């Protein structure tokens, strides 16, 4: 990949991460008082082995979204996929189940938890697991 291509790809990924952060914050605000949230972290990475693009950290009294920081403990869930694709899923433009089953988005950790969150946010009509 040339330097110009790398720079363009990096800019696109950055815009994707910014948009993903925006939709994550909006979705979390909708369910912050819901009992479906668990204490722990959900990490979003654009590729395996890369630093996190975003980390959602939930404690007993706080929820925050952090950029580029590893959680202190093993995350409950790790979502790996292009930030623009994950953003499209969270905005309802792409079908979450199809993207997961097609391997476009990979999930490590508690798939049941992520599936319940997806149902609560209206992204899934029924849990995947």
Which residue did the predictor score with more confidence, 7 or 98?
Answer: 98
The percent of residues above 70 in pLDDT, for the chain, comes to 88
pTM > 0.95: yes or no:
no
Q: What is the mean pLDDT of residues 70-94?
A: 93
pLDDT band per the 50, 70, 90 thresholds, residue 62: confident
Residue 129's pLDDT is what? 66
pLDDT band per the 50, 70, 90 thresholds, residue 80: very high
Q: Is the pLDDT of residue 7 over 80?
A: no
Q: Is the pLDDT of residue 8 over 80?
A: no
> What is the spatial distance between Cα 42 and Cα 90, in angstroms, rounded to a whole number?
14
Q: Which residues contact 72 (CB under 8 A, 6 or more apart)?
A: none
Q: What is the DSSP string of the chain?
A: --HHHHHHHHHHHHHHHHHHHHHHHHHHHHHTTSTT--SEEEEEESSTTSPPSEEEEE-SS-EEEEES---SS--SEEEES-HHHHHHHHTTSS-HHHHHHTTSSEEEE-HHHHHHHHHHTTS-SS---
Name the token pair of 100: 């997961």
Q: What is the mean pLDDT of residues 68-90?
A: 93
Q: What is the mean pLDDT of residues 25-29?
A: 87
């Amino acid at each position: 990949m040339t330097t110009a291509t790398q720079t363009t790809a990096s800019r696109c990924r950055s815009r994707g991460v910014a948009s993903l952060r925006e939709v994550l914050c909006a979705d979390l605000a909708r369910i912050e008082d819901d009992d479906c949230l668990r204490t722990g972290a959900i990490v979003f990475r654009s590729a395996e082995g890369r630093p996190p693009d975003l980390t959602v950290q939930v404690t007993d009294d706080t929820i925050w979204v952090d950029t580029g920081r590893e959680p202190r403990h093993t995350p409950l869930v790790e979502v790996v996929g292009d930030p623009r694709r994950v953003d499209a899923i969270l905005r309802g433009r792409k079908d979450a189940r199809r993207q997961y089953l097609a391997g476009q988005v990979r999930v490590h950790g508690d798939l049941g938890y992520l599936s319940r969150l997806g149902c609560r946010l209206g992204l899934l009509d029924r849990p995947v697991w």
